[in-house]
Every structure is written in structure tokens, then in C-alpha cells.
Amino acid sequence: MSVSDSQVAFIGTGIMGLPMAGHLLKAGYPLRVWNRSAGKAASLGAAGACLCSGPAEAAEGAQILVCMLSDGPTCDAILFGEQGAAHALAPGALLIVMSSIPVATATAQAQRCASLGLRYLDAPVSGGERGARQASLAIMVGGEAEAFAAGQPLLSVMGRPVHVGPPGTGELAKLVNQLIVASTIATVAEGLLLAERGGADLAKVHEALMGGFVDSPIWRQHGERMLRQDFTPGGPAKWQLKDTRTALAQARELGLALPVAERVDALFADMVEAGDGDLDHAGLIRQLRRLNHLPPSLSGVTP
């Protein structure tokens, strides 16, 4: 089946979903789109997508449905609720859930799809808004090998898909990713506070550590955000907290104690409680400054 013959539905065109859907349009996929806030999908309509009034309408007869919603309960309600989108898909269609949801939710969704004669992939992403815009997302995919082979061409338009195992393991890989991201952001923030208190030039410290073992997208991008105090959300802290909570629940189910993750989770919880949940997760440095009774701004850095 050629790209032009593959009717694709895309549900959820928020910060990440909008550019992801845009790449599919540019690649030639006929796209039917629904978003709860219709205005967020308007630019896709102007680019040639069919804007739909509901999720079932978007999914009607589609061979592939991509879901990029906020959490597990929302996905379940939109996909499998009364007049849910999954029930409107073509027989044998492929449902790709790219949301960050619990492992158990993904495995249950796979089972529901099987009972409906559908194929299923859980394919959460990492890379933030920048990765979505640049089509460079890391895409961790759980599902059957045949389903992955069917979905790989479409997923490759949005980033770099890797098949990591059976249904649910894509979400498990995303939890690993989120724990590492959260703890690294916290450590970058602590390092910058230490450099500030010791009197170093923060911009030069940021530059000096590039190329060494510390260097990473988080050091470069989120460290720069902290220096510029630009916390416009690419990945809101409230979503980071959702993911660390989910990861810790999974760890407890597996009998694991993850003390570093637990402390970082508590810091993000305090950040959200303080009213910063809608800021980018790099804004955790604000919480660390509150913890140390420091003013909101880094000294010597212009907002």
C-alpha cells in the first residue's frame, strides 16, 4: 500500500502532536485530524488535513490511527469509550499510541485491540518540542513484530523508531527515559547553583563542560534554558511528575527501590505544588532556589 493510499487519523495536536502531524502531511499521508481544542489543529487544516468534529469521525475507515493524548485515562476514553475512535477503524487497522501511559494500560489496550481485530503499537517519544519539530524524536516501540513492520515507515517520518519488545515495553523504555531525564535536569540545576555560589561565570561553565562526559542534550538545551531563565514549556513539569510517578509505581510493582528517582520525584512534586507545573521541567531550578532560600534569578544572568 502506497503512502497516498494509507488513510491516517491523528488524534491530539498539542505541543508535540501538531508538528508530528505536520510531518505526516508533508510526507504525503492523507490525514484526518481531531483535537479537543479545535483551534490547535487549524494550521493542519490550512495545510491540507481534514479537520474532524470528533475522534470517531477522524478514525472512520482509517488504516492507521496515531494517538498523542495527555495520559492513559484520556486515551482509554477517547479510543475505547462509547463511540470511541478504535471502533471506527477499518478492519485490521493499526492503532499507534504515542502518549506516555502506564505499562499496564498499554498491555490492556493491546488486548482490547486484538479483540477488535486491530493491531497495536505503544510508541512513546522523547525529544521534546524541538525533536517533534525537527522530526528527530526517539521513538520507543512495543508491539508485535508484524505490527512494527507495518508502522515503521510512518513512524520514521517523525523520528527514529526502535522496536524494543512486546506490547507495553515501549512505555517501559519511556519510563526509563523519563527517570534519567528528570534526575539529569535536577543535577544540572544543582551544578549551576554550585557554580553560582562559588562565583564562577555560569555561561563559561556551561561552555567549558561541553564535549566532556557531562555533555548531553539536557546539559546543552536545559542548561541554556536555566541560564536564560526561559521556561516556556516544551515539556511541562506537571507531565514530568506524571511520568516519574508512573515509573516509581512500576518499580514498586517489580519490587525495586529507586531512591534517587524518589527524591527527584519529590522535588518535581514540590515544584508543581508551588504553582510552576505549567513551566518547562527545566524550571526545577526555581524549586531548588526556593529550597535554598535564594532569589528567583541566577546572579549575573539577565532574564
| Residues assigned a catalytic role | 174
Which residue(s) pair with 219 in the sheet? none
DSSP string, 58-81: HHTT-SEEEE--SSHHHHHHHHHS
Q: Which amino acid is at 300?
A: G
**For residue 263, which amino acid is it?**
R
Cell of 108: 490492556
What is the sign of the dihedral through the CA atoms of 252, 254, 256 and 261?
negative
Amino acid at 194: L
Rounded to whole angstroms, what are the CA distances from 278 to 90, 207, 271? 37, 28, 10
For the CA atoms of 147, 153, 157, 161, the dihedral, rounded to the nearest 10 degrees, stands at 50
Side chain identity, residue 31: L
Query: Phi and psi for 244 in degrees, rounded to 5?
Result: -65, -35
Burial of 245 (0-12, 13-18, 19+ CB in 10 A): middle
CB atoms closer than 10 angstroms to residue 294: 16
Q: Where are the alpha helices (DSSP H) in the chain?
A: 17-26, 42-46, 55-59, 72-80, 103-115, 128-134, 145-158, 169-197, 202-208, 217, 223-228, 237-253, 259-271, 284-291
